[in-house]
Structure 1
Amino acid sequence: MKRREFITTSIATAGLALARGAEAQMTPAAAPAREFYELRRYHLQSGPQSKLAENYFADALIPALNRMGISPIGVFSLTIGPETPVIYVLLPSSRLEALVTVQSQLVHDEQFMSAAAPFWNAPATAPAFVRDESSLLIAFEGWPKLVVPPSTAQHADRIFQLRTYESASDQDHVRKVEMFHHGEFEIFRKSGFSQVFYGDTLVGPRMPNLTYMLSFSDLADMDAKWKVFGNDPEWKKLSSSPRYSFEAIVSNISNLVLKPLSCSQI
């Protein structure tokens, strides 16, 4: 436990410093409460690990996080991407400290520890997962809070597209974030997209980068709406602006399609 608490404290200190630096750049007049996101990736092996993980999220992790005031929790399986099986878990919170101290708080939750036992205590010869990794993000100023799509409350069929844009330099990254605030949000809205969240990565791999999530009813719906977006005159004007087209401001795109698990609150 001492090692776990040391690591948690170190992450919390680093995360708070980064977040304060990001918030310090905001003017008082443009300072709506911005959420923070932890995006976890659980790499699994085909077989019993998937069921063990799903039970853990549904019966142990989500109820415990909700008791901490962290909600809604998104849990998604990767359906189109470079490797499967992978489960993504999205934790939103208005308080950074709530996210970076999750692990140290969970061990004091007796209800969680009891429900999590099969997953947490799995032996090394039959582990519950291969590895997990996470990124810490801060919401965009122009999209400060996660929006749950209406299809979630309706329990309708839905898929999610998780897109990450990497940039070759901090200058290019800042300009790409700026594009969203200078018209891209509105073009997505006009094209019929259900926009879930936009986050600037504070801690994670392959920085600088940003990640955002969109929701659709199915793949055909996704393809149709991207076609509308690509043909939008305002998008063509924005993307051809010399400020954003003087060089390739996005050097790599990760484009994943996710399906929510039955326990997902998003």
Structure 2
Amino acid sequence: MLYELRRYDVAAGKLAALVDRFGSFTVHKWKEYGFRLIGFWTPVVADRSNQLVYIWGWESMEERAKKNAAWRADPERAKKWAETEKDGPLVNRVDNQLMEPTSYSQIDRGEPYGPDASSRSPYLFELREYQAMPGKIQNITDRFGNFTCGAFKKHGFRQVGYWHNVFGGNSNELIYLLAWESLDERMAKFDGFAKDPERARVFAESEKNGPIVQQVRNMILRPTAFSPIK
């Protein structure tokens, strides 16, 4: 399975209109064309409030090309875009990256990140991107697979999936998605993980020849009403 992470830089004051177009029209049309929408979110942090994030799943690049071509040629799509953008475009820019799951990615192993969404309140999600030091992406990948994922599970982290970029993003990155009941829960569980003596031992061993992580970026996300995962 390939995954496509897409981020929209939304025109000023147009986020509500764009979310409405997705929710009332676009995601329904995608279903007609067989698109697999994994999740759809808006950032929680105020300085990113003009952004929108979603993830697609594809069986292959060929499937992606075929279905996107059909979608772009849909006359109803053209009509809807003209109606909703009569006062100007809703989107400034779209960035996308194609990703492959790691061997331990939970979503590809059929491991649920929590109980069914119908039995609970929606989670907050956290998209985390680790940029490796040059030549160290395999070291990070292995540390997560051999230790960190298990330690996260021990400390009650909800892990959705782990990926590497294959196109459109930095090939020296590991990307993963977590789910939280609240920001307070996030803080408490990361604090517990940070204080784990086994973590200190493994990190020291894996970095004995120098650091393996150059930069960590994260984004806290709230699922929309029409997001398949919540």
Are residues 153 and 77 of structure 1, via their aligned partners in 2, closer, same or farther at CA, if it must alter by over 3 Å?
A: same
- Give 1:16's aligned residue: none
Q: How far 1:122 moved relative to its partner?
A: 4.8
Are 2:163 and 1:199 equivalent residues in the alignment?
yes
Percent pairwise identity: 21
- Give 1:217's aligned residue: 181
SS in 1 for 2:22: helix
SS in 2 for 1:225: helix
SS in 2 for 1:136: strand
Q: How far 1:151 moved relative to its partner?
A: 5.8
Are residues 246 and 263 of structure 1, via their aligned partners in 2, closer, same or farther at CA, if it must alter by over 3 Å?
A: same
Query: 1:261 aligned to 191, 201, 224, which one?
Result: 224
SS in 2 for 1:263: coil
Worse-matched range after superposition: 223-232 or 87-96 = 87-96
For residues 196 and 227 of structure 1, the distance between their equivalents in structure 2, rounded to whole angstroms, comes to 20
Q: Which has the higher helix share?
A: 1
Are 2:70 and 1:105 equivalent residues in the alignment?
yes
SS in 2 for 1:118: helix
Are residues 121 and 198 of structure 1, via their aligned partners in 2, closer, same or farther at CA, if it must alter by over 3 Å?
A: farther
Once the two structures are superposed, what CA deviation does each residue of 1:203-234 show, in whole Å capped at 9, x if it has no partner? 12344111100000110011111111112233
Partner letter of residue 94 of structure 2? D
Equivalences for 1:171-190 in 2 at 5 Å?
A: 171-190=135-154
SS in 2 for 1:264: coil
Equivalences for 1:239-250 in 2 at 5 Å?
A: 239-241=203-205, 243-250=206-213
RMSD of aligned residue pairs (Cα, Å): 2.4
Q: How far 1:78 moved relative to its partner?
A: 1.1
Are residues 219 and 173 of structure 1, via their aligned partners in 2, closer, same or farther at CA, if it must alter by over 3 Å?
A: same
- Give 1:30's aligned residue: none
Q: How far 1:172 moved relative to its partner?
A: 0.6
Aligned length: 226
Unaligned runs of 5+ residues in structure 1 are 1-34
Partner letter of residue 17 of structure 2? L
Are residues 43 and 176 of structure 1, via their aligned partners in 2, closer, same or farther at CA, if it must alter by over 3 Å?
A: same
Q: TM-score, normalised by structure 1?
A: 0.76
Equivalences for 1:1-266 in 2 at 5 Å?
A: 35-47=1-13, 49-80=14-45, 83-109=48-74, 113-114=75-76, 117-119=79-81, 122-123=84-85, 126-143=88-105, 145-146=107-108, 147=112, 149-150=114-115, 152-154=117-119, 156-169=121-134, 171-241=135-205, 243-266=206-229
Q: Which has the higher strand share?
A: 2
Are residues 88 and 130 of structure 1, via their aligned partners in 2, closer, same or farther at CA, if it must alter by over 3 Å?
A: same
Partner letter of residue 49 of structure 2? T
